[in-house]
Chains A and B, each alone.
Chain A
Amino acid sequence: MTQRKTQRTTQRVVLRGGRIVDSRGESAGDVAIENGVVTEVGERLSGGDVVDASGCVVAPGFVDLHAHLREPGKEEAETIETGSRAGAKGGFTALVAMPNTDPPQDSVAVVDFVREQGKRAGLVEVVPSGCITLGRKGEALAPMAELAAAGVRIFTDDGNGVQDELLMRRAMEYGKGLGVTLAQHCEVATLTKGAVMNECSCCTTLGLPGWPSIAEELMVFRDIELARLTGVRVHFLHLSTARSVELVRAAKRDGLPVTAEVTPHHLSLDETRLASFDTVYKVNPPLRSPRDIAALRAGVLDGTIDALATDHAPHPRREKELSLDQAPPGMLGLETALGVALGVLEVDLAHLVRIMSINPARIAGISDRHGRDIEPGAPANIVVFDPLAEWQVEPATLASKSRNTPFIGMTLRGQVRHTLFAGGRSPFSVRDGEAQA
């Protein structure tokens, strides 16, 4: 290991001339940061390291509720360090690490390891989720109280849905006592065996096994009703269908404590992509129909969907170069999330910041330090992005260890200039588009 500089910065940074966007809306002003804390917001601030932010949005750093960082177990695809770098480049200051590692995040030791690796990388806060069931097998509860005591605020078996109704009820009841959130990967497994793409007219012609919408919707419905019964907070991961959005909308109307996320790829790419037989488009849940995409976008607009989450799922080249039935599902998301979201969502910047920072920070239980208004005393977890700058997604410039993104070659609008991370060794985790570690 090379000796890293451990000296904490005492330098003052001034972000000059940006458009500050947070929960209060938009305002103009400079932001001064010292020792990882916002110290001043005002006009013509000076002194220290002055960074030009004119034309840029200065906002609370993005929070990803759904990142597969692959460590421990699949370091060939991603490590916590490379995933952190990809996240920082995407403007994220916190990543909720999904638990389908090997070993899975069902013990305090693994959860602590993931968090510590995050600190070692020092580019974003890595927030470990915990498994609902031991080994994500859906058979027995994971030690949720121990995990909660170790700081876990969000539990999920992501990659799998918890199939057993009784076990899910128990997890919810138990989680209620701990004050934590249960996040569900909604997929009734018997309905999706061998599935490769959305069940639709397109899959009829391609002869690919279909993943029917109802496999998601049945579990969304079940968990809404279980939330009604138990009163626990339930978060729905990567919703993909129109009917799921309707179910969540109705549940919110009933005042139930449910939240939902959608991925950039489910908002932007449809099922017909599979006609290329390129495994980069194989993802779980699958890319859906244009009608579903429209409903997901509407769900974001009216607030039914609270958060944009990437489901960043790196896979090594050799695994994506298998046949469609054997290749693992998933695609990268961290570095392209902002550009894709700006391209497909007709939301104002304040709404964008709500779904990429404020709401996910609240759902992850980290809103004391992320997604906060930019005001004196707030931790300096901040993203500075140019909402108009165009850039082309090129494999060589990706920080992720993997390359399985469908957006390669595309031109995206909206580019992260700087990311400031309060927990880092320097104020910047990304400066001028370059990761700082």
Chain B
Amino acid sequence: MMKHLRSIDELGHDGLVRLLDLTHHMVEVNRRPVPKVPALRGRTVVSLFFEDSTRTRLSFETAAKRLSADTMTFSVSTSSVNKGESLRDTVETISDMGIDAFVVRHKSTGVPWQISEWTNASVVNAGDGWHQHPTQALVDCFTVREALGKERFDGLTLTIVGDIMHSRVARSNIAAFSMLGARVVLVAPPTLLPPDMSHWPVEVSYRLDDVLERTDILYMLRLQSERMSQGHVPNLREYAETYGLDSARAAKLPLHAVLMHPGPMNRGVEMLIDPSLLSNSLIHKQVANGVAVRMAVLFDLLAGESSVANLAQAST
């Protein structure tokens, strides 16, 4: 049981393993003809999305509904947020309605921590700035665990390719996969890497071709086109040439290697082949596991004393 899920570091190794184990139970629930249990009946989960998202928000809301929680959505595209409006006022107002958890996404680092100062409800970080996206890392660890049939990732090399600097997915996965024993290699041009990684448990390479042969898990990140105007890369064509996954590069991977992407994919940029043609692509499994992982998270935060055994009880 935890109060908040804001970062992988805060969760820690034991929390990470506990949530991954719990996810297996949720996968089982989701396989039932009626994939719904009353575990969180009477609880209210609010999605507080200050940044556009469809997949993550739907995934959380579906998860909450399958656990019989009530859901509310507060959706504000950043552009329409009145800059004079205090974040605290927004949070306190919703909090006063008597809710149990906030699922928060914001373009600024730290907002989930700020919010937890202003509410007694649990806070789940659904992505804050370039900082953390812990449920995505849980999804990715769970997906690899299932695909490779391993609980620990010792001896495995995770290669993350692309815009590491601006990626909360990368930061969460570096922490989570390292905790489970994987070696992490980051591949990007220096302009897409953070300024000082000396304290990160990673190896850095500027050349994708140099690391493919020893990669077990290839994780491609999305490159946003705005990185061109900011001078991070000259143009998308050159980026695709240098860091995109094409069939020649895919052929260099070991046969057992798996491919991942957090979505949405930029076909023709980082993804030059159709991943559905690759037998080892886990991209669809990542999406499919999203709901079960988020069910595990909400259950762990909100189910209180009720144990996993209660999941056996079907919804009426």
Contacts and interface: CB of A to CB of B under 8 A. Distances in A.
B84 A324 contact: no
B97 to A, nearest CB: 20
B114 A277 contact: yes
A324 B87 contact: no
A92 B87 CA distance: 35
Contacts of B87: 321-323
A177 interface: no
Contacts of A178: none
A204 to B, nearest CB: 4
Interface string A298-317: 00000000000000000001
Contacts of A276: 113
- Chain A binding site: helix, strand, loop or mixed by DSSP? loop
Contact of A208 (B88, B109, B196, B197): B109
- Chain B binding site: helix, strand, loop or mixed by DSSP? loop
Contacts of B109: 196, 206-208, 277, 324-325
Name the residue in B108, B111, B113, B128 with the highest tally of chain A Cβ atoms < 10 Å from its Cβ.
Answer: B108
A326 interface: yes
A212 interface: yes
Contacts of B106: 323
B74 interface: no
Contact of B131 (A201, A208, A279, A326): A208
A202 to B, nearest CB: 9
B194 A204 contact: yes
B171 A205 contact: yes
Contacts of A321: 86-89, 114
A325 to B, nearest CB: 4
A191 to B, nearest CB: 12
B195 A204 contact: yes
Contact of B86 (A199, A208, A318, A325): A318
Interface in A310-360: 317-319, 321-326
Contact of B113 (A196, A203, A210, A277): A277
Interface residues of A, number: 26
Interface string B99-129: 0000000111111011000000000000011
A200 interface: yes
Contacts of A326: 83, 108
Contacts of A196: 109
Contacts of B196: 199-201, 204
B171 to A, nearest CB: 6
Interface string A132-144: 0000000000000
Contact of A207 (B89, B171, B198, B200): B171
A201 B197 CA distance: 6
Contacts of A206: 109-110, 131
Given A318-B86, A322-B86, A203 B194 contact: yes
A319 B84 CA distance: 7
Given A200-B196, A203-B195, A204-B195, A323 B86 contact: no
B284 to A, nearest CB: 28
Contacts of B88: 318, 321
B130 interface: yes
Interface string B123-160: 00000111110000000000000000000000000000
A323 B195 contact: no
Given A199-B195, A201-B198, A277-B114, A207 B84 contact: no
Contacts of A203: 194-195
Name the residue in A203, A204, A207 with the highest tally of chain B Cβ atoms < 10 Å from its Cβ.
Answer: A207
B228 to A, nearest CB: 16
Given A204-B196, A321-B87, 8 more contacts: A204-B195, A206-B131, A277-B110, A277-B111, A277-B114, A322-B83, A324-B109, A325-B109
Interface of A: 196, 199-201, 203-210, 212, 276-279, 317-319, 321-326
Interface of B: 83-84, 86-89, 106-111, 113-114, 128-132, 166, 168, 171, 194-200
Leading 10 A-B pairs by shortest Cβ distance: A277-B110, A207-B130, A323-B108, A207-B131, A204-B194, A325-B108, A201-B196, A321-B88, A277-B113, A318-B86
